[in-house]
Amino acid sequence: MSEAASITVRRMNFEIRPDMEKYWFGGNPLISAFFFAMSATFPDGERFFIDTVRHYQPGIDDPELKQRIRGFIGQEAHHGKAHEDFNQALEDLGFPMGEVTERSKWLLNNARQRLSPKRQLAITVALEHVTATLAEHALRHPEIMAQMDPTFRDMLIWHAVEEIEHKSVAFDVFRQQVGSEWLRRRVLLLSLILFFVRMMGFQRFLMRADKRRASLREWWQAMRFFWGKGGLMRESLPHFLKAFRRGFHPDDIDQRPLIADWQQHYPEVAALQR
Ligand SMILES: [Fe+2]
Ligand SMILES: [Fe+2]
């Protein structure tokens, strides 16, 4: 029996404001563009996640895992849609989001064509660990989230809750259907490197397209955001490293308290449920 949280598919009503500030993370272009880059890659990335799990779906007999797979697919499909709407709003502000999407799609299509289903699933397992880890950081730091555009913040909180709910689904499918720890760990290393290198590349591309250079002060703020006390990378790195252990399971990192009472902690987000 899995310790995983139950997986609820929630439909949300986000009202994206067309007049949002361009660099809506406190005006900082580096941090804002990092979130833009992630948002641009989510819809196709999540479709890839769904397909890699779906491939193994017919072979799963365990009714509980079957149920969780359905929840996972439903959640990821809604995330993709919400981010697509937001990406369009950023495109309307002048950012070439479609171009970033195309570039990440190219990478994913390459993976689809060249890699075996088990390797593709291992990528999903790796990136689901990344999303659950980034989700934990978001839920642990409301003070950081408060610096964002409010709609994106709400979207990210909802997304974070659901990423934690379904974080072990792809993993459990992999363990049951593939089971190679060697493959899982090797692909984890490559996926982590590729993910962050691409995000930094896209971040740079988006800023360049807008002819925006960061000031020294903005660089300093971004360094603190990623690597300072409570920083995104500083807090995430230990979780990333933990996953390299032989026999690691995502539930070894207990994130349930973070999502247990999320509706009470974020009533404004809960109210957006349809
Ligand atoms: Fe997602
Ligand atoms: Fe996910």
Assess whether pLDDT exceeds 80 at residue 61: yes
- Rounded to the nearest angstrom, the distance between the alpha carbon of 213 and the centre of ligand 1 is 30
Q: How many domains does the chain have?
A: 1
pLDDT, position 19:
83
User: Cβ(101)–Cβ(196) under 8 Å?
Assistant: no
- Rounded to the nearest angstrom, the distance between the alpha carbon of 150 and the centre of ligand 1 is 19
- Rounded to the nearest angstrom, the distance between the alpha carbon of 113 and the centre of ligand 1 is 23
The verdict on residue 196 lying in a domain is yes
- Rounded to the nearest angstrom, the distance between the alpha carbon of 217 and the centre of ligand 2 is 34
Confidence of residue 210 (pLDDT cuts 50, 70, 90): very high
pLDDT, position 1:
38
Q: What does the pLDDT look like over 135-152, one tens digit per residue?
A: 999 999 999 999 999 999
Confidence of residue 125 (pLDDT cuts 50, 70, 90): very high
Assess whether pLDDT exceeds 80 at residue 129: yes
The verdict on residue 15 lying in a domain is no
Ligand nearest to the CA of residue 169, numbered in listed order: 2
The verdict on residue 74 lying in a domain is yes
The verdict on residue 5 lying in a domain is no
- Rounded to the nearest angstrom, the distance between the alpha carbon of 57 and the centre of ligand 1 is 19
CA distance 274 to 38: 25
- Rounded to the nearest angstrom, the distance between the alpha carbon of 215 and the centre of ligand 1 is 32
Assess whether pLDDT exceeds 50 at residue 154: yes
Owning domain of residue 182 = 29-268
Q: What is the rounded average pLDDT of the residues 167-187? A: 98
Buried b (16+ CB within 10 A) or exposed e, 59-84: ebeeeebeebbebbbbbbebbbebbb
- Rounded to the nearest angstrom, the distance between the alpha carbon of 69 and the centre of ligand 1 is 13
Confidence of residue 109 (pLDDT cuts 50, 70, 90): very high
Ligand nearest to the CA of residue 72, numbered in listed order: 2
Burial class of residue 181 in the structure, from the number of CB atoms within 10 Å of its CB (0-12 exposed, 13-18 middle, 19+ buried): middle
Ligand nearest to the CA of residue 130, numbered in listed order: 2
Confidence of residue 2 (pLDDT cuts 50, 70, 90): very low
Q: What angle do CA 251, 257, 263 make, to 5 degrees?
A: 125
The verdict on residue 17 lying in a domain is no
The verdict on residue 16 lying in a domain is no
The verdict on residue 22 lying in a domain is no
Distances (CA, A) of 24 to 141, 145, 199, 258: 17, 11, 18, 25
Token pair for residue 64? 């509980």
The verdict on residue 178 lying in a domain is yes
pLDDT, position 122:
98
Closest CA to 173 of 117, 135, 131: 117
Assess whether pLDDT exceeds 90 at residue 226: yes
Ligand nearest to the CA of residue 52, numbered in listed order: 2
Q: What is the rounded average pLDDT of the residues 35-51? A: 97
Confidence of residue 258 (pLDDT cuts 50, 70, 90): very high
Report the chain's C-alpha Rg in angstroms: 18
Higher per-residue confidence, 5 vs 205: 205
